[in-house]
Amino acid sequence: MNVKSIFPASCGLRGAITIPGDKSISHRSVMLGAISKGTTEITGFLNGADCLSTIACFQSMGIEIEEIPSTASSNPLTSSTASSGRILVHGKGLHGLSAPSKTLNTGNSGTTTRLLSGILSGQHFSSLLSGDASLNTRPMKRIMTPLNAMGAHIESLNGNGCAPLLINPGSLHGINYTSSVASAQVKSAILLAGLYANDPVSVTEPSLSRDHTERMLQSFGASLSSRTFPDGQATATILPCQELYGQEIAIPGDISSAAYFIAAALLVPDSELLIKNVGINPTRAGFLAVCKAMGADLTYLNQNITGGEEHSDILVRSSQLYATTIEGSLIPTLIDELPILAVMAAHAEGTTIIRDAAELKVKETNRIDTITTNLHAMGCDITPTEDGMIIEGGHRITKAPLHPAVISSFLDHRIAMAFSIAALLAKKTAAQTQEQSATQILESQCIDVSYPNFFSTLESCF
């Protein structure tokens, strides 16, 4: 078992760091590049395990994908390096994919599985999608139901609504689908299938989820429109498509990865950390809004827009944080950041309430349970609820700081990273020995899914 020992920070975080490219944009750039005419050139691609699963799936369907390294290093398409030079995807058009000769292995990637299902629904060949043990327990009915309603033929081989998924050729037609959840993966699967439909396809969600798919489809030449209504509902509509065309894509740093370093710099005293080129797309920036509401000292520098995506350098200084309530339309914009927000709440003054976040139950783990289990282990007063949690902050006079503990990652990369940051603030109790002053993160290798160089980047800040 891979175990990482993390001791409390003895000084503040300093300097400047650059984080890996956005995972969501990396997935989509390969997918759309593969089904476009011509070559798509990608810079800033995230070479985490999830995105490499997407690359491998399209290579299995006859798409040539090559890496032009920035240095004479090993090929990042087969290594754990977090950053790369250029990725070239030599697309073959909307109907250029070839039937795979074996099961398409999506690894631990729900994004790969759900979005690829939309694309495969419109192909002329059959395919089988399957992942690791964790992936094959995650719910897929949420994309199977609308795609099958469009004329797709997707079957859960185990009959439980999970992968493995058998996808047979279908004739897709238009649909006006209303989703019960604000989910970028559900929306994206439907819109990608809509590229192959004979009539317009619309998907309405209760609030706007991350919109990278919409932005990128438009840049590749799709006819797509979006509208947000006064009640918060959002509808995206895509028209039948003849062809997409390869693009140049510069991927900004992933806000979900930046969140751990922002939290660390806010929480560890005497910190001043510059995080460069962070994507601040409004549908992803809820974490930053909550940080501000908690009293965070954040300064935005060099703000710009490249390829339709906003990005900025962020200067973070240590701050006294205060409790807040996280709910409603904010939740889809920060769902992946809730584990680290829970850690921040444990160190904030007052009681933080997280609600409307039942979606946490169907991530890599049931994150309501895994966050609660691990914060309890560190001595936090936390109460799980049906759709979130209530966290008593650790800065009240009567409260002791969190203490070191053995933390189970549950093979969830975001849990492992969030509690690595919590470990920086953990102070051993009188009953703990010096050997127990480090927090142990079990099965920390799961972090490679999204941030292979996480620990080396963290160590560089001290």
Q: Is the distance from CB of 343 to CB of 263 less than 8 angstroms?
A: yes
SS3 annotation, 44-86: CCCCCHHHHHHHHHHHCCCCEEEEECCCCCCCHHHCCCCCCCE
Q: For residue 112, which amino acid is it?
A: T
CA distance 170 to 31: 20
Tell me how crowded residue 180 is: count the other CB atoms within 10 A of its CB.
Answer: 9
CA distance 386 to 388: 6
Q: Which residues of 368-387 are buried (b: 16+ CB within 10 A; e: fewer)?
A: bebbbbbbebbbbebebeeb
- What tokens appear for 122 in the block? 């419109």
Q: Among candidates 341, 176, 173, which has minimal Cα distance to 255? A: 341
69 contact partners, CB below 8 Å, separation of at least 6: 75, 76, 84, 85
Q: Which of 50, 336, 412, 448 is catalytic?
A: 336
3-state secondary structure of 152: coil
Half-sphere exposure (Cβ direction) of 451: Cα atoms closer than 13 Å: 27
- What tokens appear for 105 in the block? 């292995």
152 contact partners, CB below 8 Å, separation of at least 6: 121, 122, 167, 170, 172, 193
CA distance 312 to 406: 36
Helical segments of 268-356, H only: 286-293, 338-346
254 given a catalytic annotation: no
Residue 111 burial class via C-beta count within 10 angstroms: exposed 0-12, middle 13-18, buried 19 and up: buried
Residue 145 Cα distances to 124, 154, 163, 439, angstroms:
20, 9, 14, 43
398 contact partners, CB below 8 Å, separation of at least 6: none
Q: Is the distance from CB of 261 to CB of 454 less than 8 angstroms?
A: no
Active site residues: 336
